[in-house]
Structure 1
Amino acid sequence: MSGLDPLQRAFINRFQGGFPLVERPFHGVAAELGTNETTLIQSIRRLCDEGWLSRFGPLFDAERLGGCFTLAALAVPEVDFARVAEQVNALEEVAHNYRREHPLNMWFVLATEGTAARDDAIRTIERETGLPVHDFPKLESFHLGFNLHLDAEGAVGIRRVEPRPFAPARPPDRLDRAIVASTQAGLPLVPEPYAAIAEEIGTDQQTLLARLAELLASGAVRRIGAVPNHYKLGLRGNGMTVWDVPDDRVEQVGRRLGAREEVTHCYRRPRHPPLWPYNLFAMVHGRGREEVEARVARLVDEIGAESRAHATLFSTAVLKKTGLRWAG
């Protein structure tokens, strides 16, 4: 991308995770990237302000924090689409919202403190829109993880990230909740970001750093770093592939799909017959529709007769995309 300089590309490539838990993290990162702390902070601020990054900071796993995370969809008449999008996007619990090519044409992610709050959010959407919500909670995970990589010209590619082992999770306490509330929108772009957070939530910096390390080890924080905006960076093809696999074969097929380099996320989710016969979801990204279609064709070759039917729901508009706003 011509809009990014070498420092910004290097930062995105290196620090989509692994941002240091030390008192002056930008200082060490700047030295690694061959610049100084002030220049690096200014560079990251520009990446955020211009939309190259969706956010910069901890990426939380709502479920491992005791919360609830679900995918849901609506079938919205075209005449009502703008109104319904505004109503859905107004909910703080809605993190992502996409328009996709299917009678179920609005797909959004809800992150809430628990199942009761999820159900309340769904009822609110149904009441305000007058439409039934189709809820697709994750039943089983087969793969989650990818990073973007920018070459010297700024062309974007995908690199698979394998899962790491986690320590056992525990119920969140008051400090965990305060950390989530303070950082889920991102880290402050100041020389000592953790000191600023610690002061805001009423603790000391060393306690905060130790707790963030614990949350990383348990998977409650998946990673700390840059969250690239893949659309702006050029990864504009986004296909949600869905598959109708016999229930007694879905685990085996899901593991095969999840192991493919073309797949960035793969989950088992419930069917909603007759409108929705599919029980296996696999996300495929590419620089455009043709690249995604070619990758999906390879998945079809892999799965063969194991799937009774499949479809690819391309996103045609990003209606909302923020960091999760789980109240904690």
Structure 2
Amino acid sequence: MDPLDFRLINEFQRNFPLDPAPFAGIARCLDTGEETVLTALRRLHAAGIVSRVGAVFAPRRLGASTLAAMIVPARRLEEIAASISARPEVNHNYEREHRYNLWFVVNARDETQLAGVLAAIERDTGCRVISLPLEHEFYIDLGFDLAGARKVPHAGRRIEATDLHTLTAAEHRLMGVLQHGIELVPQPFARLGAQAGMDEQAVIATLEHWRRDGLLKRFGIVVRHHELGYTANAMVVWDLPDAEANRAGSLLAAAPEVTLCYKRRRHLPQWPYNLFCMIHGRDRNVVERAVEDLRRRLDLERYPHAVLFSRLRFKQRGARYVAGATTHE
């Protein structure tokens, strides 16, 4: 990766300019030209390093979502994974090293639709689904610092039913064209407005409102870890008393090696774990050493835990909240 690419994707995963010509503003920061920035982003997107440029929304602020898992026979894994990935409500789908070997995220407009999607997956595959909805986020920034040392301060929050944001008709139209990412053109917000039936300034004002409200976690470049060379991806889970999970979650969230950290509802007796974190590394040994160091440093050695490395990525894209829009991912 050349210096321009590095700065581009490291500095603009957040704090993306919400103004009529954002790529020209980025170019000025990088002491280069607007077309150079756009060409670099198009190339990085084509290479799979950049997933999209756009919005990352706070979990469970729009509709309903859950992390789900299944025990899938090895001979049927590819078939079942393909059928799950084909569902528009599923945005992530991974094989992981565990008895529960297929893990996927489902987003739906409400809890009723979510339950229906999970029931349909069980019916169509013949495999039991466990659902592990988010209860408390300790660190879900969804950015990735390539320098490996900087972490954006992040206040954890317990997920409440009152967190839900009801979209207005105009917001719904904008969400439909925005959720796939902005187009890599000089005036992307004008293009969004033309597609959503809004003027450019109304688009920018809506995005600024969403950011102030916390609906937007961030707006900017969304990268894929694997294509950046972080090929060892482990989900680490602990079984802790709830009060201790809150303490440990706050400590894990502050650790530089942890890229995500949250508490999820147990699914007893099949799944006793309630505290989750993600660690990405360039090789497996780095991640394993990080896990052991965290267990020792944060006094977690006495609690049951499991480390689930990813094996195959079947699907990875941004969540869809509105059906029927054209994709730019």
TM-score of the two chains, using structure 1 as the length reference: 0.91
Question: What is residue 114 of structure 1 aligned with on the other side?
Answer: 110
Structure 1 residue corresponding to 2:248, chosen from 245, 253, 256: 253
Question: What is residue 7 of structure 1 aligned with on the other side?
Answer: 4
Question: What is residue 71 of structure 2 aligned with on the other side?
Answer: 75
Structure 2 residue corresponding to 1:236, chosen from 209, 214, 231: 231
Residue 161 of structure 1 pairs with residue 152 of structure 2: yes
Q: Distance in 2 between matches of 1:236 and 1:290?
A: 11
Conservation of the 8 A alpha-carbon contact between 1:62 and 1:111: no
Structure 2 residue corresponding to 1:98, chosen from 94, 97, 101: 94
Q: Distance in 1 between matches of 2:56 and 2:2?
A: 25
Distance 1:307 1:107, change over 3 A: farther
Matching residue's letter, 2:42: R
Conservation of the 8 A alpha-carbon contact between 2:60 and 2:164: no
Structure 1 residue corresponding to 2:83, chosen from 81, 87, 92: 87
Matching residue's letter, 2:240: V
Which moves more between the two structures, 214-223 or 258-267? 258-267
Question: What is residue 160 of structure 2 aligned with on the other side?
Answer: none
Distance 1:5 1:249, change over 3 A: closer
Shift of 1:165: 9.8
Conservation of the 8 A alpha-carbon contact between 2:295 and 2:301: no
Q: Distance in 2 between matches of 1:165 and 1:234?
A: 29
Structure 2 residue corresponding to 1:35, chosen from 19, 32, 36: 32
Shift of 1:255: 2.1
Secondary structure at the residue paired with 1:57?
Answer: strand
Distance 1:5 1:247, change over 3 A: closer
Question: What is residue 141 of structure 1 aligned with on the other side?
Answer: 137
Conservation of the 8 A alpha-carbon contact between 1:145 and 1:162: no
Q: Distance in 2 between matches of 1:161 and 1:146?
A: 10
Structure 1 residue corresponding to 2:182, chosen from 158, 183, 187: 187
Over the residues paired in the alignment, what is the CA RMSD in angstroms? 2.0
Secondary structure at the residue paired with 1:160?
Answer: coil
Structure 2 segments unaligned to the other structure (5+ residues): 158-162, 324-329
Cα deviation 1:171-221 (Å, max 9, x = unaligned): 221122112110111101111110011011111111111111001111212
Shift of 1:111: 1.4
Q: Distance in 2 between matches of 1:44 and 1:197?
A: 18
Question: What is residue 216 of structure 1 aligned with on the other side?
Answer: 211
Structure 1 residue corresponding to 2:60, chosen from 36, 47, 63: 63
Distance 1:47 1:158, change over 3 A: farther
Q: Distance in 2 between matches of 1:248 and 1:190?
A: 49
Conservation of the 8 A alpha-carbon contact between 1:76 and 1:105: yes
Question: What is residue 154 of structure 1 aligned with on the other side?
Answer: none
Structure 1 segments unaligned to the other structure (5+ residues): 152-156
Between the two proteins, the alignment pairs up a number of residues equal to 318
Q: Distance in 2 between matches of 1:165 and 1:32?
A: 31
Conservation of the 8 A alpha-carbon contact between 2:138 and 2:156: no
Matching residue's letter, 2:36: T
Residue 295 of structure 1 pairs with residue 295 of structure 2: no
Shift of 1:33: 0.9
Conservation of the 8 A alpha-carbon contact between 2:135 and 2:265: yes
